[in-house]
Structure 1
Amino acid sequence: MVMATMPELAAADPARAELDAYLARTASRSLLRFITCGSVDDGKSTLIGRLLYDSKQLFEDQLAALERDSRRHGTQGENIDFALLVDGLAAEREQSITIDVAYRYFATDQRKFIVADTPGHEQYTRNMVTGASSADLAVILVDARKGVLTQTRRHSYLVHLLGIRHLVLAVNKMDLVGFDQARFDAIVADYCAFAEQAGIQRFTAIPLSGLTGDNVTTRSQRMPWYEGPALLEQLEGVELEEGREQAAAFRMPVQWVSRPDLDFRGFAGRIVSGTVLPGDPIRVLPSGRTTTIERIVTFDGDLPEAVAGQSVTLTLADPIDCSRGDVVVAAAEPPAVADQFEATLVWMAEEALLPGRAYWLKLATQTVGATVQAPKYEVNVNTLEQLAAKTLELNAIGVANIATDRPIVFEPYAESRSLGGFILVDKLSHATVAAGLIRFALRRAQNIHWQPLDVSRETHAALKNQKPAVLWFTGLSGAGKSTIANLVEKKLARMNRHTFLLDGDNVRHGLSRDLGFTDADRIENIRRVGEVARLMTDAGLIVITAFISPFRAERDMVRRMMAPGEFIEVHIDTPLAEAEARDVKGLYAKARSGQLANFTGIDSPYEPPEDPDLRIDTTAMSAEEAAEQIVRRLIG
């Protein structure tokens, strides 16, 4: 059987031949990635649909389907609902809004384009940030009837923050204001005042109508007073900083280590900036080890050179340690390595930021644990004022310090999107809660180093003839944590064990006397106690803690602080009704009467352990029996 070659297949299929010819014609054209954004119902989807339609980017079957869909969705006569081209979700078509980010590819004789239609609703700001993160240009739409709105300012501020320097202010629906020049000029003046405040140095204002096509692909005769370019002309003519990534210093985050056999060890990843050749001296960060490039390997064979944007596998001249998350860089021009930063955050979660809570921070191929301090300020997108803030709510933009559990390789976002932009991920739900832009490393992060000690934690433990451990008691107020913890310590003392009991109330008199009982304060309280407990295990002690510690995330955070097997979570499991019936301190009564706010179990949540190391049911055993069971679990 004779197999047909690719050219023969193309020749036998006219459609394939036409596609190949089209791809060949467009291969050398530059690519512009742009987004459309603005307030809800400003006509973003309609504008993109009209742009595709008027620039002859629709195949016959697409056009026929669009006409059918337009009639089905109630469009009258011969008119076409261009928004249906990009509103792909059923929910979007039903509500006539954009929810998801819709991407479309098209090309003209001048340039190739990838356009992202992003949502206008405030609740979908996170989707808009996703679309803007890789864009070169932003088309900010304004409804000519409504003018500049809060969401217009929000999206403009965000695209500027995300490094987009080419902006088009598209004043849409000019047909609904009679193509009035005065209305257009007033909107541009209003936007100019905001742009100056926001640091937006330049933008191009275009009056247009996505519905009728005026000034979309060609200049409109109905607005003779406007002498600037049509939208498509502007998109085709804007000058991009092409070659900037190639001119920068070499950077390649390692995505995975390739070991197809014992003789080959390569490091695969996408080059985010710069150029690399065999023989170039490189440095692997964060370790700082240096060597040279031996080969640049691809599926199609070795390359004599690789540049930004290419995915390659590098082999090194020396067998130095390198793994996923490391960054291979030019030896003479390394980026910074630090574990504390100031960053701008765009909060994307329904639940507000909890300062002190541990999140996953993902930057390029690096994933580390990170905690966010209370924001320094929140930005008012209307006035650009810096407002005092204790947290960040959904869609808020603020600046805060972030600490990671180990150093990461980074560059300020203003210099590198790839090594300066990150996301924060909730450790329990794995949902993305924020997008972040690193501003700079904190000076103290570079001045603090681990001091080597000659007496190890193993030596401390051996001197005490015991294995260090943390018995972490968690449960509702009144569950019996302090009573049982005290009995456990007494039993261990009689067995000549070296212990220390950290009780919630006692710690509040000293270590945490500055903290209240908000969720953020509770998180910080547990973080402090966890750090103290870790130091005590380094000293070889058995640490017993009695804290409500209501959140799983913080209990897991403390577990990760300890050596494997040293953290024993003990759930003192007492039903709320039973704990409230005891109410030894009278706290439940105060909480029920409104005298005590943020009380766990009443107006503040308690998240019981899903799989504790030991569960104590205080309705089924006495405190003495519970203490005995815990000691047996510890000592064996």
Structure 2
Amino acid sequence: MPDTTSLLRFATAGSVDDGKSTLVGRLLHDSKSVLADQLAAVETASRNRGQQAPDLALLTDGLRAEREQGITIDVAYRYFATPRRRFILADTPGHVQYTRNMVTGASTADLAVVLVDARNGVVEQTRRHAAVAALLRVPHVVLAVNKMDLAGYAEPVFARIAREFADYAASLGVPEVTAIPISALAGDNVVTPSAHMDWYGGPTVLEHLETVRVGGEPSAGPARFPVQYVIRPQTAEHPDYRGYAGRLAAGVLRVGEPVTVLPSGRSSTVAGIDALGTAVDVARAPQSVTVTLADDLDISRGDVLVPAGTGPVPSQDITATVCHLHDRPLVPGARVLLKHTTRTVKAIVKEIPSRLALDDLAQYPAPGALAANDIGTVVLRTSEPLPVDPYARFRATGSFLLIDPADGATLTAGMAGEAFARPAAGDGDGGGAAADDEGWDF
């Protein structure tokens, strides 16, 4: 039986009018996760539009512009639970110009639900969303073939779409795809099995969400503990206390374990672990704890504790795949702030070797700049060495943000390493000299 206390983070994606918001609304409604006043408001809004049945998409399309245009613009987060599991859902937009919003919604997801209109099959935006899910290393992907009622509930239609999507996903290195034929409007195979598709013997959407295995992360693998705050009460009772507070990003940390502090490379041993004021012997990701060490080391916010011999080699040169989020293009030579875990340092965009076309996965060399929603490869030089893991192995410590130093706006989301974990033609370290004016000489 699944752990009733477990949490599944999942995101929905798909082309415009594929029915994402309707699916989410149906999922919430049929699982009895909608409050009475919310449902009453949706029923009233639907009647005002001349609709007989409640428009369940209104449960997620909360912005005024979304209701007026009948589309999803921003990421809509919903929290709900069933007797078998708790969920955090991110309903992401379908329009091409809002691809960056899907990156935001799927960046922490354990599962992505990609919707396809049974009448249209796999389209360019379907491939784009599958590629983003693969790029972000989302562990599980569900293909929901929607509007099967408008395709006569025909099994050959579903089989053709499922086969085409599975082939494309395999080319991206997606580890697992589960295809489910549904009608979000009618409720077929969303929460309850469909009486119209007796040829399908698999789980409903909710049943799959409740039973899919999400164990093994983030507590799997070597520990990563970014220090968020140094606690030094300096009281008569604890004159020499020095604790390092933070959230364990990955792995397991144990009392008595030898650790290395990155990027300095100093070593010590875990002397104690406090969780909510209680001493414990073991901490598991994603717990927030305070760690004390056997030695008095110079450690500050942004340092990372790792088990001895397991950490990445700190470097000032980072090659990464990024999704540009800002309307202002990212160009070579741009001076930015790079936020990695709890450390923020100055950085320079040294070059942009390529831009990725998500429709055909072609790499376009030397694009000159990355516009909003573009995904490409960048080479960065930072002012200080950073212990950056490959994103393919550690999502938390392999990711970073580029920030505008002038106004604090988030510019770009980065994932250290190559897209889709494919072998790179060259593994350049971004050599060359950084700009040396205005205090940006690295």
TM-score, structure 2 as length reference: 0.90
- The question of whether the paired residues in 2 share the 8 Å contact of 1:374 and 1:391 is answered with no
User: Which of these residues, 44, 54, 65, is aligned with residue 80 of structure 1?
Assistant: 54
- The question of whether the paired residues in 2 share the 8 Å contact of 1:197 and 1:384 is answered with no
Shift of 1:139: 0.4
* Alignment partner of 1:210 is 2:180: no
Q: Which residue of 2 aligns with 1:376?
A: 353
Q: Which residue of 1 aligns with 2:219?
A: 246
- The question of whether the paired residues in 1 share the 8 Å contact of 2:311 and 2:387 is answered with no
Q: Which residue of 2 aligns with 1:392?
A: 370
Please give the alpha-carbon distance, in whole angstroms, between the structure 2 residues aligned to 1:55 and 1:305: 37
* Alignment partner of 1:48 is 2:30: no
- The question of whether the paired residues in 1 share the 8 Å contact of 2:4 and 2:86 is answered with no
* Alignment partner of 1:422 is 2:396: no
Please give the alpha-carbon distance, in whole angstroms, between the structure 1 residues aligned to 2:67 and 2:247: 37
Shift of 1:56: 1.7
Shift of 1:202: 3.3
Q: Which runs of 5+ in 1 are unaligned?
A: 1-25, 449-523, 532-557, 564-636
Please give the alpha-carbon distance, in whole angstroms, between the structure 2 residues aligned to 1:166 and 1:362: 27
2:314 aligned counterpart, secondary structure: strand
Normalized per residue, the structure richer in strand is 2
Matches of residues 519-598 of structure 1 in structure 2 within 5 Å?
A: 531=436, 558-561=437-440
1:430 aligned counterpart, secondary structure: coil
Shift of 1:208: 0.9
What residue identity is the alignment partner of 2:74? D
Please give the alpha-carbon distance, in whole angstroms, between the structure 1 residues aligned to 2:249 and 2:397: 8
Shift of 1:416: 0.2
User: Which of these residues, 104, 121, 144, is aligned with residue 78 of structure 2?
Assistant: 104
Report the CA distance shift for 1:116/1:250 in structure 2 as closer, same or farther (over 3 A).
same
When Rg is computed on C-alpha atoms for both structures, the one with the higher figure is: 1
What residue identity is the alignment partner of 1:147? G
Q: What per-residue deviation string (whole Å, max 9, x for no partner) do you get for residues 572-630 of structure 1? A: xxxxxxxxxxxxxxxxxxxxxxxxxxxxxxxxxxxxxxxxxxxxxxxxxxxxxxxxxxx
Q: What per-residue deviation string (whole Å, max 9, x for no partner) do you get for residues 22-76 of structure 1? A: xxxx98432211110011221111101101111122233333233223223x152
* Alignment partner of 1:410 is 2:388: yes
What residue identity is the alignment partner of 2:200? Y
* Alignment partner of 1:347 is 2:347: no
What residue identity is the alignment partner of 2:7? L
Please give the alpha-carbon distance, in whole angstroms, between the structure 1 residues aligned to 2:202 and 2:90: 24
**Bigger CA drift: 259-268 or 360-369?**
259-268
- The question of whether the paired residues in 2 share the 8 Å contact of 1:254 and 1:324 is answered with yes
Please give the alpha-carbon distance, in whole angstroms, between the structure 2 residues aligned to 1:37 and 1:144: 15
Please give the alpha-carbon distance, in whole angstroms, between the structure 2 residues aligned to 1:298 and 1:224: 51
Q: Which residue of 1 aligns with 2:262?
A: 285
Report the CA distance shift for 1:222/1:313 in structure 2 as closer, same or farther (over 3 A).
same
**Bigger CA drift: 328-337 or 118-127?**
328-337
Please give the alpha-carbon distance, in whole angstroms, between the structure 2 residues aligned to 1:368 and 1:285: 15
**Bigger CA drift: 209-218 or 253-262?**
253-262
- The question of whether the paired residues in 2 share the 8 Å contact of 1:339 and 1:445 is answered with no
Shift of 1:169: 0.8
Report the CA distance shift for 1:236/1:330 in structure 2 as closer, same or farther (over 3 A).
same
Shift of 1:299: 3.6
Shift of 1:436: 0.9
**Bigger CA drift: 86-95 or 370-379?**
370-379
Q: What per-residue deviation string (whole Å, max 9, x for no partner) do you get for residues 401-447 of structure 1? A: 2221210011100110011011111222322121111017998869x
Higher RCO structure (Cα 8 Å, ≥6 apart): 2
What residue identity is the alignment partner of 1:324? R
Q: What per-residue deviation string (whole Å, max 9, x for no partner) do you get for residues 349-408 of structure 1? A: 222221121111111112112222332222221111122222222211112222212100
* Alignment partner of 1:271 is 2:150: no
Shift of 1:261: 2.7
How many residues are aligned here?
A: 430
* Alignment partner of 1:260 is 2:260: no
Shift of 1:136: 0.6
Report the CA distance shift for 1:265/1:223 in structure 2 as closer, same or farther (over 3 A).
same
User: Which of these residues, 112, 116, 123, is aligned with residue 97 of structure 2?
Assistant: 123
Report the CA distance shift for 1:208/1:421 in structure 2 as closer, same or farther (over 3 A).
same
2:316 aligned counterpart, secondary structure: strand
Q: Which residue of 2 aligns with 1:233?
A: 207
- The question of whether the paired residues in 2 share the 8 Å contact of 1:338 and 1:445 is answered with no
- The question of whether the paired residues in 2 share the 8 Å contact of 1:337 and 1:409 is answered with yes
Please give the alpha-carbon distance, in whole angstroms, between the structure 1 residues aligned to 2:441 and 2:379: 25
Please give the alpha-carbon distance, in whole angstroms, between the structure 2 residues aligned to 1:127 and 1:260: 42
- The question of whether the paired residues in 2 share the 8 Å contact of 1:257 and 1:265 is answered with yes
Please give the alpha-carbon distance, in whole angstroms, between the structure 2 residues aligned to 1:54 and 1:168: 19
- The question of whether the paired residues in 1 share the 8 Å contact of 2:4 and 2:83 is answered with no
Q: Which residue of 2 aligns with 1:145?
A: 119
What residue identity is the alignment partner of 1:202? E
Please give the alpha-carbon distance, in whole angstroms, between the structure 1 residues aligned to 2:363 and 2:122: 21
Q: Which residue of 2 aligns with 1:315?
A: 292
Please give the alpha-carbon distance, in whole angstroms, between the structure 1 residues aligned to 2:101 and 2:360: 23
Report the CA distance shift for 1:75/1:329 in structure 2 as closer, same or farther (over 3 A).
farther
Shift of 1:310: 0.8
What residue identity is the alignment partner of 2:177? F
- The question of whether the paired residues in 2 share the 8 Å contact of 1:110 and 1:236 is answered with yes
Q: What per-residue deviation string (whole Å, max 9, x for no partner) do you get for residues 71-118 of structure 1? A: 23x1522x1111111112122112111122112122223222211111
Q: Which residue of 2 aligns with 1:327?
A: 304
* Alignment partner of 1:164 is 2:138: yes
Report the CA distance shift for 1:167/1:445 in structure 2 as closer, same or farther (over 3 A).
closer
- The question of whether the paired residues in 1 share the 8 Å contact of 2:261 and 2:303 is answered with yes
Kindly report the root-mean-square deviation, in angstroms, between the aligned alpha carbons of the 2 structures. 2.5
Please give the alpha-carbon distance, in whole angstroms, between the structure 1 residues aligned to 2:373 and 2:427: 29
Please give the alpha-carbon distance, in whole angstroms, between the structure 1 residues aligned to 2:334 and 2:142: 39
TM-score, structure 1 as length reference: 0.64
Q: Which runs of 5+ in 2 are unaligned?
A: 419-423
